[in-house]
Structure 1
Amino acid sequence: MPPAMTDILDIWAADSQLSNEDYVTVDFLLPTGIYIQMEVPREATIQHIKLLLWKQASTYPLFAFLGEMESHMFECVNQSAVHEALEDETRRLCDVRPFLPVLKLVPRNCGRAERLNSKIGTLIGKGLHELDALQDQEVKDFRVKMFRISEEKMQRVQMMTWMEWLQSCFSPQLENGVIDGLQEKLFDGALKVIMHFDQSQVRMLLFSSFPFYVRACVIGKDTPHLTLVHCGMVQAMFEKELSAIGAVVNRKTSNPPLPLPPKRRGPSVSVPGRLGSVAPAPEPVQVRAGLFHGTELLCKPSVSTESSGRSEHVWNHTLDFDIAVCDLPRMARLCFAIYAVMDKVKKQKSTKNGSCHHYPIAWVNTMVFDYRGHLKTGDNILHCWSSFPDELEEMLNPIGTVRTNPYTENATALHIYFPEYSSCPVILEKAAEIARSSDCLPMVFHIELKEIMERDPLSQLCENEKDLIWTLRYDCRENFPQSLPKLLLSVKWSKHEDMAQLQALLQIWPKLSPRDALELLDFNYPDQYVREYAVRCLKDMSDDELSQYLLQLVQVLRYEPYYDCALTRFLLERAQTNRKIGHFLFWHLRSEIHMPAVSVQFSLILEAYCRGSIPHIEVLKKQVEALSKLKAVNELIKLGTIKNARKTKEAMLTKEAMLTCLRQTGFTETLSDLHSPLNPSVVLSGINVEKCRYMDSKMKPLWIVYNNKLLGGDTLGIIFKNGDDLRQDMLTLQILRLMDLLWKEANLDLRIVPYGCLATGDRSGLIEVVSAAETIANIQLTSSNVAAAAAFNKDALLNWLKEKNSGDALDRAIEEFTLSCAGYCVATYVLGIGDRHSDNIMVRSTGQLFHIDFGHILGNFKSKFGIKRERVPFILTHDFIHVIQQGKTGNTEKFGNFRQYCEDAYLILRRNGNLFITLFALMLTAGLPELTSVKDIQYLKDSLALGKTDEEALKQFRQKFDEALRESWTTKVNWMAHNVAHNRS
């Protein structure tokens, strides 16, 4: 049983047993070498425990050597297996919850910096000693820069007046000039790295191609590890290959046309890699490598020779790439796939190539240039990932992370060697600014350009179209500045001249709106100058707008190959000047810190944020502690319900155990008077234990109720989930919030209820409880004694609204219902939200209808026995129409208004279709189960009818509307089955 569970069970037992059970036995380790074991009160503060220890220690030898009591403090190992100094001695032992009941007494010889490090490590859930131990110069340089910037910021904060400090931390009304000024002071100059190279390096860049040497050996038992090591005769091999390289370069009389860029691939899955058994008999193993810029393949991939053997595979082979070093883009990445070559494979994940099958074993990516801009040289050890995304071309995964697998013990290790071109670092030459005007072309080509530029982001460009865009690039700048993404897809990134032209063009490109600039942060646009341009555009965002897109901006950090980048600095600066943004940045990062691919990156950003926002640490720390308490209570409930699944009486005791825990002083104090993680503007004051409960679903979510002083005594509820991934719900609710904003901008308020939802950890998080609301199922079941008949009672919903409202209030409630029903009909259709039954559609007493539980989106509808359970494009039942028509069958005017609301809402979303596609595309690497590839996003393009005229799109929507009406009886049948099943359970 976990220590946290033991702690809760012990506390629960404490109230029902003798008073001597209120004590716990603790081992104390003294700096004099003396060990003392004694019982102390669970509820005692650390200061009181120290007094008790001092009295006991006075009877032991060497007591005189301890010195003053105030000059000592306790240390322990906490529940996160992190070393923690217990400096705050007003805390109680039951709040500290050490991993084991062992406290070490140490002299207070640590300074302010050490105490701060301990707090930050505890807060972010990753000890800073782990970052200290990393032998990575990039990590060290980033931390040094961030430390210096944070120190300067905190010094400025200390010199602020109270009003200045409040405005800096809490006001969303900062002028752009102030923000830009702060950013310039914080980052410009401090983070610039100026590098020089001599003429010999320039010549090397111009005439050297890019060879790559590889030799490998596979070792291991049942699951062998693949290890590639460089050849011993490095200099001899380099000289031998140089002539061959020269021959390749000499044969290049012209630049061949680039292949079409591969389709966008699914995200990498950040799980520990392991080389699985590929066959009972040894099979040949090969390595494939490709050079990419984004998803564009820069030249033909290179494949090693086959190597056979039972326990060892060895290569002596050079992988050459037909591209000159001077033509390598700064953000070029080298992608590897390791696979077995097999004649007969029954595995589904195998891919066929000619007469052979390739069974993927592992993949890994690395940048060609390091974070300083130096071409990599020498040995590199890359620990691989074994989980392959679907639909990879040639098994290469360019969209995957460039971080190596941190679980090195069980990961395939790929040792590679980059040759050295000179004794000095080779630095990519900065592209010269070459100004050219667009070629004069007939007007027909300009008309074609306009048609291309109006396409949605998912539309593929053929080579002729790319050439046309590039030729008319200055026309694009003048007439279609928002088309910059399509221009970037038309650049030949393997040509130094094209890159030079683009860099010059970016200097004079008009600033895009922040919404349009978001697309430039997609993986398809990895160039650092492009991304810096995008961030400059994002600086025009208000704090509210930045909060709207923060979820995507955090996910986009996964695409950044280096820790120090424009986006990281932008997010940190804005977070440290507005606490609300800082709050959500903290939780978005911390909720995914357990993922190996981003663990170090997100830890570094969290550390940098905390160092620059020291006053915020204690606020966040209390939230972390509160969530830890809730998780412990949830684990107690799960344990109790598993043991007593068939015993109603014992199950009731489990609920009582939950309430007993919540009544404990340690729990009530931790869970009270804290800023809500869902909304930091709301203070959760006192927990109302008697109204708390757990919900009857698989993961036993906690329903926690607060008496909120700021709401005039009204209660406020939150749901804590442990075991469910809330990130897909969080994304869907964010999009609903955006839809609501877009409709309101067009003067259409459809009364959407985008309640709060926040992932706070590995498969855990919080959901806001919407007050005064009931599910459709409960409303129907309350009105009927027979569950099977309840779904067909069309008067139940209207009668319920009449009970809650009378007179003019009823008319307002029906109007609220009409507007909100129209909004959710359109939203659920466009987003393809599935699994719509009567328990995840709710209605407030004020009439607002809203949907909950978004486990199925983008057309992933549930099916049973191969038959789709949902056959309607959206939910529009006859009882809904009965309410809209005010209970009057012939009230066609009200229904006509409703239909018009739906059509207007649909057309508004269509006008913003590119924005929705961009936001979903930026989430591709998040690892959401139903958003793994561009094929999933294609659903949005189809539902919004992008590429069609408004008239054609409206015709399509009207057909879907009529279909929803015509097939609503199937919804009723499904709801009947759901009600019966629910009633039985």
Structure 2
Amino acid sequence: MPPAMTNLMDLWAAHSQLSGEDLVTVDFLLPTGIYIQMDVPREATIQHIKLLLWKQAQSYPLFPSLGEMEGHMFECVNQAAVHEELEDETRRLCDVRPFWPMLKLVTRNCGRAERLLDSKIGVLIGKGLHELDALQDQEVKDFRSKMFRISEEKMQQVQLMTWSEWLQACFSPQLEPGGGATPVTDGVNDKQAEASLKVTITSPSELMEQALRKWLTTHGPEEEGRQAEQYVLRVSDKLEFLCGDHPLIQYKVQVRAGLFHGTELLCKPAVSSESSGRSEHVWNSTLEFDITVSDLPRMTRLCFAVYAVMDKVKKHARVQTHTDIYLSWVNTMLFDYKGQLKTGDIILHSWSSFPDELEEMLNPIGTIQTNPYTENTTALHIHLPDYNPHPILFPPFDKGRGGKKFHIELKEIMERDPLSQLCENEKDLIWTLRYDCMENFPQSLPKLLLSVKWSKHEDMAQLQALLQIWPKLSPRDALELLDFNYPDQYVREYAVGCLRDMSDEELSQYLLQLVQVLRYEPYYDCALTRFLLNRAQCNRNIGHFLFWHLRSEMHMPAVAVQFSLILEAYCRGSIPHIEVLKKQVEALSKLKSVNELIKLGTIKNARSKTKEAMLTKEAMMTCLRQSGYTETLSDLHSPLNPSVLLSGINVEKCRYMDSKMKPLWIVYNNKLLGGDTLGIIFKNGDGTRGCISMVLIMNHWNKMCLCRIVPYGCLATGDRSGLIEVVSSADTIANIQLTSSNVAAAAAFNKDALLNWLKEKNSGDALEKAIEEFTLSCAGYCVATYVLGIGDRHSDNIMVRSTGQLFHIDFGHILGNFKSKFGIKRERVPFILTHDFIHVIQQGKTGNTEKFGSFRNYCEQAYLILRRNGNLFITLFALMLTAGLPELTSVKDIQYLKDSLALGKTDDEALKQFRQKFDEALRESWTTKVNWMAHNVVKDNRS
């Protein structure tokens, strides 16, 4: 992926405004070949700039050949280094954000209304539609054509709606606005650098040589299906490797290939012979798979790995298996999106970032998209031969059913959690009793699917017949079927059919996971994509968050095309929503410019850090007061909650936070909130995705029991950038402790500080209510942080509202990945339960064991409720495996949940385990206070 580019135009504009300059020098290229340089107002619209250019061009040669002014428009190179057509001429130059102040005048084609819409959509989704037009991919063309027709029909329906029908369709009352918000931070998810290796594998091969007769039937020449000989899947290749200046070219190189259905390896992998080093690797080899084509599942993935075979394990190896060092990997589907067996020449540009653990050295869970950045990647040239004069299509399954006697052992197997492995005997039992499963354990469908022998066509046909009559699952149970382990299209269509029963509110809770699941879909046009588009176009709140969940990942090459296609389809079917979203995109662009301006350190000659901070803040406020910024950032529907209208910035209260990435603390005046202010944190350069995941998980947890988990808004908006809502009337434990003590080292041990702070904020009945809120919320977060394994719990990421609710922020370390120093774990307690917390719960009375007993009971009941929903939590984390969270990359990471929830044990056994953890947290709380003391001394952050 190309490096991030600084937005020179916008930063220059900000600097010029601070220095009193209002003009920008712009270079203009005319279609006549004439070059004109002129100064234009930086806040002028594109239309006004074109008028100025037209007037200037009259004095240059060849002006008459330009023709009418309206027949032309500007193009520029945007900050993503791609051409952008400026069809929307109401935009200002300062909002266009070209990479360099240069505009090219080009002749406008016909169909201006369509081009204007295309231009707006391109700007909105962050990818010009001309890039999609240029893709020589029939699947992309077919998907866009279908979505275009569907979107036209959708907009025609909207135009025929009455006003009340339109309100009901776009703003369904089922979806309630979110609650409060919390300032949250999390760690940066750095990307691994790609290896500088270029390899070419040319394989004119006979890929398949036997068996299709079980599922191909003979038809006339006009039919698509054809009878064929029986082919064994085989690769007979002449492989040529052309290596660049890579440090491993002196070693032997091999290629491994495997066939997968989900994570199930269908047969033994095939491995090429070794090729010795230098700049070329040439040899003849045959790669043969022990499976017939007739037994290949529809969703078979052909996975490749290229690796160097080392005599000794080298220290610089990124991933090691004995003496092998991975160079690259790439996957492709054997059947295309139409179900047709792939044939002909295929070039696959591979990837060089590897997960921690790979099955058989292959990466089946990785994308099937080819790497778009081809300059320094491994290229595999594959030829899949034709066997027939006609296409070979995967056929519809046969229908049949059978069933046998029910066995009592089945019940125990079906009650296991999703992470439990099934042995071969258990799989055979489940498959044999599949009709008993359907009648008695319909929710056991995932385990039945894991018992199918996907390398046997007869079993696949039986399963397809069974799905026709399988009872509908609840939407929550059906979520598991969208995991990577279940790639079969009929299974996924069945799962999506179950999701249709979701209310809009429930769908909003799972929307982020469902967007991540789109990565598992090998084809653009699938049931899940259509389901999400339909629901988004029927409810603007869902559409809003679908848009941002997709757009925030447009920088990722593996999903850029897929997500841009879905975004385009949504925009075409929701044209009235485009302007609202467009203003949000422009506002975030302005905030990014302010953040980058601060990072540049405009005040370099300040004599002290305090003076520098003061001058930098002054520069920030001057920037925010510019008319271009004020107008763009005002009257804005909040990306965090589209039901909130952000009317205007309170510049005097805005600031930036003193951390590495200088997050912006933006304060809005809001008439709709009775004059109250509303705070939003904008982060740029620091990931928010881990925070979002934990926020959503916590929100699920909040609805399951009475404990007060404080929900807060958190939204990723781009590459390591995002927004976080600010909770009003709240402060950190560290600040509360420090303001109560003159000595930072002693502050952490003042058990009265927290209770006194609540007394200052509340009196009488209000104080009693605040203590009750504190008790319930403390119980909720004790259990939640234990179950989810949330680490790095210090006094600056635990906060308390003036109304008593305690809440945690900053979920950078999850699933038991606790910090350590000098090899010693910094956190030695399962969750945070300090004596000053107990002091508040007991209302300041040491002997108030009744209040403490109630608190402990709240914790235990909450823990049991979570256990009953353990399978759901495991599913939600499993669906996030490809979300890019550094501490959630494999199923083994989710094992922590199984252990913390004591799944597989009885409630009594689990409760005994939790009580031991509770006693441990209370007994070892002194270690927490010592850590907090050190934190307070290092960072005395009294306000």
TM-score, normalised via structure 1 length: 0.88
Please point out which of 230, 234, 238 is paired with 1:207. Answer: 230
Partners of 2:500 and 2:795 in 1: CA distance: 44
Alignment of 1:401-800 (within 5 A): 401-438=367-404, 440=405, 446-640=407-601, 643=604, 647-743=609-705, 748=706, 750-800=707-757
Partners in 1 of 2:840 and 2:596 — Cα distance? 43
1:213 alignment partner AA? S
Match of 1:26 in 2: 26
* Paired-residue identity, %: 81
Q: 2:287 aligns with which of 319, 327, 332?
A: 319
> Structure 1: which amino acid aligns with 2:871?
N
* C-alpha deviation, 1:80, in angstroms: 3.5
> Is the 2:603–2:612 Cα contact (8 Å) retained in structure 1?
no
Rounded Cα–Cα distance in structure 2 between residues aligned with 1:218 and 1:304: 12
Aligned to 1:374: 340
Query: Compared with structure 1, are the counterparts of its residues 91 and 357 closer, same or farther at alpha carbon in structure 2 (3 Å cutoff)?
Result: closer
Q: How far apart are the structure 2 equivalents of 1:150 and 1:315?
A: 52
How far apart, in 2, do the equivalents of 1:703 and 1:284 lie?
Answer: 55
Amino acid at match of 1:740: N
Residues 379-416 of structure 1, C-alpha deviations (whole Å, 9 max, x = no match)? 22111112221222321111111111111121101122
Q: Which secondary structure does the structure 2 equivalent of 1:958 belong to?
A: helix
Partner SS state of residue 819, structure 1: helix
Report matched runs for 1:212-223 at 5 Å: 212-223=235-246
Q: Contact 1:801 / 1:813 at 8 angstroms: preserved in 2?
A: yes
2:245 maps to amino acid: D
Partner residue in 2 for 1:227: none
1:351 to partner: Cα distance = 7.8
Change (3 A) 1:335 1:54: closer
C-alpha separation in 2, matches of 1:60 and 1:396: 63
Instruction: Find the aligned partners of 2:696 and 2:941 in 1 and give their Cα distance.
Output: 35
Kept after mapping to 1: 8 A contact 2:226/2:392: no
SS at match of 2:251: coil
Rounded to whole Å, the distance in 2 between the matches of 1:69 and 1:393 is 61
Change (3 A) 1:879 1:541: same
Give 1:167 shift. Answer: 1.7
What's the offset of the Cα at 1:786?
0.3
**3-state DSSP of counterpart to 2:601:** helix
Aligned to 2:324: 358
Q: Which amino acid aligns with 1:365?
A: N
Query: Which runs of structure 2 are paired with 1:803-814 in the superposition (5 Å)?
Result: 803-814=760-771
AA matched with 2:39 = E
Extract unaligned runs of 5+ from structure 1: 175-194, 224-276
Tell me by how many angstroms 1:13 deviates. Answer: 4.5
Distance in 1, Cα, partners of 2:821 & 2:459: 54
Quote the residue 2:248 is aligned against.
278
Query: 1 CA distance for matches of 2:873 and 2:849?
Result: 34
1:98 aligns with: 98
SS at match of 1:872: coil
Counterpart of 2:926 in structure 1 is 969
Q: Does 1:953 align with 2:910?
A: yes
Q: How far, CA to CA, are the matches of 2:72 and 2:244 in structure 1?
A: 51
Map of 1:229 onto structure 2: none
Task: Tell me the number of residue pairs that the alignment of Structure 1 and Structure 2 aligns.
Answer: 895
Matched, 1:847 2:804: yes
Is residue 535–residue 567 contact of structure 1 (8 Å, CA) maintained in 2?
yes
Give the 3 Å change call, closer, same or farther, for CA 726–642 of structure 1 in structure 2.
farther
Using the TM superposition, name which of 854-863 and 644-653 deviates more.
644-653
The separation in 2 between residues aligned to 1:873 and 1:728, in whole angstroms, is: 20
- After superposition, give the CA deviation of every residue in 1:62-94 in whole Å (9 maximum; x if it has no partner): 555656655655443333444444454444332
CA–CA distance in structure 2, aligned partners of residues 409 and 686 of structure 1? 46
Partner residue of 1:232? Answer: none
Is 1:395 the counterpart of 2:361? The answer is: yes
Distance 1:559 1:642, change over 3 A: farther
Closer, same or farther in 2 for the Cα pair 1:599/1:51, shift >3 Å? closer
Instruction: Map 1:42-57 to 2 at 5 A.
Output: 42-57=42-57
Higher helix proportion (structure 1 or 2): 1
- 1:23 deviates by 2.2
The residue that corresponds to 1:299 in the other structure is: 267
The residue identity in structure 1 corresponding to 2:79 is: Q
RMSD of equivalent CA atoms: 2.3
Change (3 A) 1:359 1:46: closer
Contact 1:726 1:764 in 2 (8 A): yes
Which has the bigger relative contact order, CA under 8 A and spacing at least 6?
Answer: 2
CA distance in 2, matches of 1:106, 1:384: 37
User: Does structure 2 retain, via aligned residues, the 8 Å contact 1:576–1:609?
Assistant: yes
* 1:836-894 deviation per Cα after TM superposition (whole angstroms, max 9, x unaligned): 00000000000010000000000011100000000111111011111111111111111
Q: Alpha carbons of 1:313 and 1:34: their partners in 2 closer, same or farther (altered >3 Å)?
A: closer
Residue 818 (structure 1) aligns with? 775
Of residues 11, 14, 17, the one that matches 1:14 is: 17
2:133 pairs with 1:132: yes
Moved more, 311-320 or 911-920: 311-320
How far apart are the structure 2 equivalents of 1:349 and 1:8? 41
**Counterpart in 1 of 2:818?**
861
Give the AA of the match of 2:562. Answer: Q
- CA deviations 1:167-221 (Å, max 9, x no partner) are 22121449xxxxxxxxxxxxxxxxxxxx996359978567322222322111133
Paired with 1:204 and 1:309, the residues of 2 have a C-alpha distance of: 45
Distance 1:116 1:755 in 2: 35
AA paired with 1:827?
A: A
| Structure 2 residue 841 is matched with structure 1 residue 884 | yes
Displacement of 1:716 in angstroms is 0.2
Matched, 1:828 2:828: no
- Change in CA separation of 1:447 and 1:161 when aligned onto 2, cut-off 3 Å: same
Equivalent position amino acid for 2:94 in 1: C
1:305 partner amino acid = S
Partner of 1:271: none
Which segments of 5 or more consecutive residues in structure 2 lack a partner in the other structure? Answer: 176-214
